[in-house]
Structure 1
Amino acid sequence: MSPVVLELSSARTAGVVKIVNNDNHDVSLQIRAYDWEQKDSQDVLNPTQSLIISPPVFTVAPGASQTIRIISKRPAEANEVAYRMLVDEIPTAAAGPAINFKFRISMPIFIAPNTAPNLKMGWTLSAGKAPRLNVANTGNRRGRLLNLVLTLPNGKKITPPAGANPYTLAGMIRQYPFDVDAPLAAGSLVKMSANSDTGPIETEITVTP
């Protein structure tokens, strides 16, 4: 599928996504759009009518492709608007004991803010046996932290759980849990490294009580 992220704006309210079938059999797909919010560090998806997707259901032959047109009916706002487009395979009945596999692709779609994009991210780290990294995005566009690593005072490196969503949406706070062998002491210094959309991050965090 190309692109993997769709960027729209008040000046560009429509875009296209191309899906290619690299399998050796027909693939039937259903596409649905959802408002994307974050609450209590969890992604929340709600069906939306603000995006027009055409076609919403189709079948792609082996080696063929399908172009999807996406139109936003929602005007740009002060903060970036976020959606998720879910592409689901529709299982087909198979003869005999064959197993049908169903896959899902979740694609971000963003409507740029109607003011100059401004990313402001900050972080705090709590003490204790189950430390939490709080990532606050006070800007008006989403931020991402990829390859996030914390280096503890004893030199051990720890990472968040596998599959953790790297996005912190505009105006949101995300919390990343970590496992440690010994309680993390308040006042100690922890190094944080990550890759972001604005470049590499290398910083030190003072652990809070």
Structure 2
Amino acid sequence: MRTHTLFACCLTLSTALASLAVQAASSILIWPINPLIEADRQKSAALWLENRGQEPVDLQVRVLAWEQDEFEDRLTPQKQVVGSPPMATLQPGKRQLVRLVTLEPPSAGTLRTYRVLVDEVLPPQPRPSQLGVQFQMRYSVPLFVVGPGAYLDDGAREAPGQGQPLAPELRYRVIEGSDGAFLYLRNLGPAPARLSQVALSRDSGKQPLAEGLLGYVLPGAQMRWPLPAGVRSGRVQARINESRQAQTLAAE
């Protein structure tokens, strides 16, 4: 960029698994961090934005299709879900409700995955209090939309009634190559898996890989993460979605 603006790294709000709202350095509070739309129960979900800072903030809201390919997240434009309003100016201390609305629900018994991106829009002329280096923050919140006749089984909630439960089904393997050893996780189920408190369990004890969030594996996708030096094998244990305890995953 020709300006002195620094683009901050993407701040994924879902990393704060223990809280219902997250506040970043720019004083924007966003909640909930895991919005869900189930076609049998609602056509939209609420996302709240709050300005905890001392200056007005201009925000842009976009909903992008979220896929995973070649061990990377892929975000692409789509027209199935929209955020309303798409633009908002938050005065200090004020809140804004953004409604995430489904225009084209998924087919029966299926689930779609999205990312809601909330970008700060910097003013053309910096305000007096913003002279110097400016940070343009981006917030990324996962959004899952479930089609008719199904519900998301996150490992904790009670079944909301009749319907097919959608849950992840994970398989793991450890592969060592010239660039080190990697943990590969494949999701064979119809629902996304959010992994936290991941560890390799061996007879000699546990080797933690992630105390908090490790990442997501979307339905039908495969992701990988590097293992610490010297770690080559073990049984993988992880907390999946909202389950209260870690579970041992099945090996491929």
Please give the TM-score of this superposition, normalised by the length of structure 2. Answer: 0.70
Query: Pick from 142, 163, 166: which aligns with 1:118?
Result: 166
Counterpart-to-counterpart distance in 1, 2:224 and 2:135: 33
Which range moves more in the overlay, 93-102 or 28-37?
A: 93-102
Q: Which deviations, in whole Å up to 9, do the C-alpha atoms of 1:48-70 show, x marking residues without a partner?
A: 12112211111111001111111
Q: Which residue of 2 aligns with 1:88?
A: 119
Match runs of 1:30-45 below 5 Å: 30-45=60-75
Inter-CA distance 177–33: structure 2 relative to 1 (3 Å threshold): same
Q: CA offset at residue 104 of structure 1? A: 0.9
Question: Which has the larger strand fraction?
Answer: 2
Inter-CA distance 203–74: structure 2 relative to 1 (3 Å threshold): same
Q: Which residue of 2 aligns with 1:178?
A: 227
Q: CA offset at residue 191 of structure 1? A: 3.0
- How many pairs are equivalent? 201
| Aligned amino acid, residue 139 of structure 2 | I
Q: Which residue of 2 aligns with 1:68?
A: 98
| 2:156 is equivalent to residue 105 of structure 1 | no
Q: CA offset at residue 18 of structure 1? A: 1.1
Tell me the secondary structure at the aligned position of residue 141 of structure 2. Answer: strand
Which range moves more in the overlay, 121-130 or 5-14?
A: 121-130
Q: Matched residues, percent identical?
A: 24
Inter-CA distance 121–20: structure 2 relative to 1 (3 Å threshold): same
| 2:117 is equivalent to residue 79 of structure 1 | no
| Aligned amino acid, residue 4 of structure 1 | I
| Aligned amino acid, residue 6 of structure 1 | P
Q: Which deviations, in whole Å up to 9, do the C-alpha atoms of 1:64-110 show, x marking residues without a partner?
A: 11111111112223431001010011112234843322111101111
Tell me the secondary structure at the aligned position of residue 23 of structure 1. Answer: coil
Q: Which residue of 1 aligns with 2:32?
A: 3
Q: Is this contact kept in 1: 2:34–2:142, CA < 8 A?
A: yes
Please give the TM-score of this superposition, normalised by the length of structure 1. Answer: 0.83
Q: Which deviations, in whole Å up to 9, do the C-alpha atoms of 1:7-44 show, x marking residues without a partner?
A: 01222111221111000111110111100001011110
| 2:184 is equivalent to residue 150 of structure 1 | no
Inter-CA distance 32–79: structure 2 relative to 1 (3 Å threshold): same
Inter-CA distance 202–51: structure 2 relative to 1 (3 Å threshold): closer
Query: Pick from 62, 80, 98: which aligns with 1:50?
Result: 80
Q: CA offset at residue 128 of structure 1? A: 5.4
Which range moves more in the overlay, 147-156 or 97-106?
A: 147-156
Q: Is this contact kept in 2: 1:113–1:140, CA < 8 A?
A: no
Q: Is this contact kept in 1: 2:197–2:246, CA < 8 A?
A: no
Which range moves more in the overlay, 46-55 or 172-181?
A: 172-181
Which range moves more in the overlay, 17-26 or 105-114?
A: 105-114
Q: CA offset at residue 181 of structure 1? A: 3.1
User: Structure 1 unaligned runs (5+)?
Assistant: none
Inter-CA distance 202–107: structure 2 relative to 1 (3 Å threshold): closer
Inter-CA distance 80–29: structure 2 relative to 1 (3 Å threshold): same
User: Structure 2 unaligned runs (5+)?
Assistant: 1-29, 151-163
Query: Pick from 177, 191, 205: which aligns with 2:235?
Result: 191
Q: CA offset at residue 157 of structure 1? A: 2.0
Q: Is this contact kept in 1: 2:238–2:249, CA < 8 A?
A: no
Inter-CA distance 53–204: structure 2 relative to 1 (3 Å threshold): closer
Inter-CA distance 176–148: structure 2 relative to 1 (3 Å threshold): same
Counterpart-to-counterpart distance in 2, 1:87 and 1:61: 16
| Aligned amino acid, residue 238 of structure 2 | A
Q: Is this contact kept in 1: 2:199–2:206, CA < 8 A?
A: no
| Aligned amino acid, residue 113 of structure 2 | A
Q: CA offset at residue 143 of structure 1? A: 1.0
| Aligned amino acid, residue 125 of structure 1 | V
